[in-house]
Amino acid sequence: MGVIKKAMTGADAAAEAMRQINPDVVAAYPITPQTPIMHRFAQFVAEGKVKTEFVTVESEHSAMSACVGAATAGGRVMTATSANGLALMFEIVYIAASNRLPIVMNVVNRALSGPINIHCDHSDSMACRDSGWIQLYSENAEEVYENNLIAIKLAERVNMPVMVCQDGFITSHSVESMRVLDDASVRRFIGQYKPKHYLLDVEHPITSGPFDFYDYYFEHKRQQIEAMTKVIPAFYEIVDELGKLMGKHYETVEEYYLADAEFVVVSLNSTAGTVKHTVDELRKQGKRVGALKIRLFRPFPREDIAKYLRGKKAVAVLDRAATFGHVAPLYHEIRSALYEFPDKPRVVSYIYGLGGRDVNLGHITKVFNELESGTAQEENYLGVRDEDEP
C-alpha cells in the first residue's frame, strides 16, 4: 500500500500509469516513431493486466481518429506518440480539442524531421501549442507517472485533451529510481469517468462533429478560450489531492532557490534537472542563482511565472525548439508574461539542444555566467558551431 519505489524508464513510467488507469480504449500506431510506451502497454494487454480495447491502426492520423471516435462514444481513452507521428496526427489533434474530448496522450519529445532526426527536441509538441490541448512537461520518470494521473483527472474535469510530454531518450529510455502509488490508490484517485454527453447514450441521443459555419464556429472557439481559464484552478485541486498521496507539493511551475536568487534559468523537461544541479554547484560558490521549471505549459501559468520572476536581475529562458521568423516559443511567452510589470527582469533567450545536441553542466554554467556579467545577447545559441572545427 501507499508509495512504492521502483526503477523505471520514462517510457515504462508512462506505461505503468496507463496500466493502473486501465483505459477503455488505447489506439496507437505500433511502429516507428512509436516509443517503448506502447511496446510495454501492448505487453500488459497481452498478459491480461488491463481490460483495454487496444486498437493498432495503420497511421497516427488513424490513431487519433480512433481515439476521437472512442472518446465521443464515452470511453476513457489514451494514446502515445512522438515527433513525426504527432505531426501526422495534427489534423485530428486539433479536432479532438475542438470536440472537447478528454483524451490523454503521452508525447515523447523528439525532433521533427527534416533533416531526418529521432533525438530529443521539443519541436513536435511546440508545434501543437495552439491546438487547444493542455500540455504538461515532465522532468523525470516520476513526473511522467504523476503527470499521467493528473492528466486523466484534469482532462475529464475540464473536457479537454492533455499531452504529457517527456524528453526523448534522455527520459524515455533512461532507467531511474522513482516512486509509484499502489493500484487501488490510483483507481480511487482517478475515479469513474462519467461523461455528460456521449454517443452511446441511447436515452439522450446526440450528433457529434456536425458542420459549424460562420454562424456558430466563433462561439465554440470562444468557449474553448474560456475553458482554458478553468484549467489552472482545477489543476491545483487535483495536485493537492495527489500531493497527499505522494507526500509532495506541486505547482504549475517549480521554483528552485528563487527566494534570494538574482539570476534565473527557466527550462522545460529533463534540462530542468541539469539546471538544478548547476544551481547546486554555483550556490556552493556563493552565487545567488536559481531555477524555474515550467510543468504546465498550456494553459500558460503567467501569474505563477510573474510571481517568481518579478524583481530578479536577469532571466535566461532555454528553448529546445526554434520559431523560424521570431524568437523561441518559451522565451516569447515568458517575456510576454512579464511585460506589464515595472519590476520585470532582463529576459534573454538561449536556444539549445536541437536534434538531440547534448547540454551539460558547462553549458548551463556559461548561461549563468553570461547573465551575471551582462554579456548575454538578447538571443543566444548554446552548443551550436559558429565556426568549422579546425
Binding residues vs other proteins (CB under 8 A): 98-101, 159, 197, 204-210, 212, 215-216, 218-220, 222-223, 226-227
Contact yes or no for 286/262 (Cβ under 8 A) = no
Euclidean distance between CA atoms 144 and 14, whole angstroms: 6
Q: Which residues contact 218 (CB under 8 A, 6 or more apart)?
A: none
Considering the complex, what minimum distance in angstroms separates the CB of residue 101 from other proteins? Answer: 7
Nearer to other proteins, 65 or 159 (CB): 159
Residue type, 271: T
Residue type, 16: E
Establish how many alpha carbons lie within 13 A of residue 316's alpha carbon, considering only the half-sphere containing its beta carbon: 30
Considering the complex, what minimum distance in angstroms separates the CB of residue 198 from other proteins? Answer: 10
Concatenate the DSSP letters of all residues of 324-335 into one string: TTSS-HHHHHHH
Is the peptide bond between 161 and the residue preceding it cis, with omega within 30 degrees of 0?
Answer: no
Considering the complex, what minimum distance in angstroms separates the CB of residue 211 from other proteins? Answer: 9
Considering the complex, what minimum distance in angstroms separates the CB of residue 206 from other proteins? Answer: 5
Contact yes or no for 352/269 (Cβ under 8 A) = no
List the beta bridge partners of residue 254: 293
Nearer to other proteins, 205 or 286 (CB): 205
Nearer to other proteins, 219 or 386 (CB): 219
Q: Which residues contact 298 (CB under 8 A, 6 or more apart)?
A: 129, 133, 134, 135, 228
Nearer to other proteins, 216 or 341 (CB): 216
Nearer to other proteins, 193 or 308 (CB): 193
Q: How many CB atoms lie within 10 A of CB 287?
A: 18
Considering the complex, what minimum distance in angstroms separates the CB of residue 161 from other proteins? Answer: 11
Give the three-state DSSP class for 245. Answer: helix
Considering the complex, what minimum distance in angstroms separates the CB of residue 296 from other proteins? Answer: 21
Inter-CA distances, 382 with 71, 138, 364, Å = 42, 22, 9
Considering the complex, what minimum distance in angstroms separates the CB of residue 224 from other proteins? Answer: 9
CA 360 to chain centre: 22
Nearer to other proteins, 221 or 307 (CB): 221
Nearer to other proteins, 65 or 271 (CB): 65
Show the cell assigned to 14.
508512462
Considering the complex, what minimum distance in angstroms separates the CB of residue 18 from other proteins? Answer: 24
Nearer to other proteins, 211 or 324 (CB): 211
Q: How many CB atoms lie within 10 A of CB 157?
A: 16
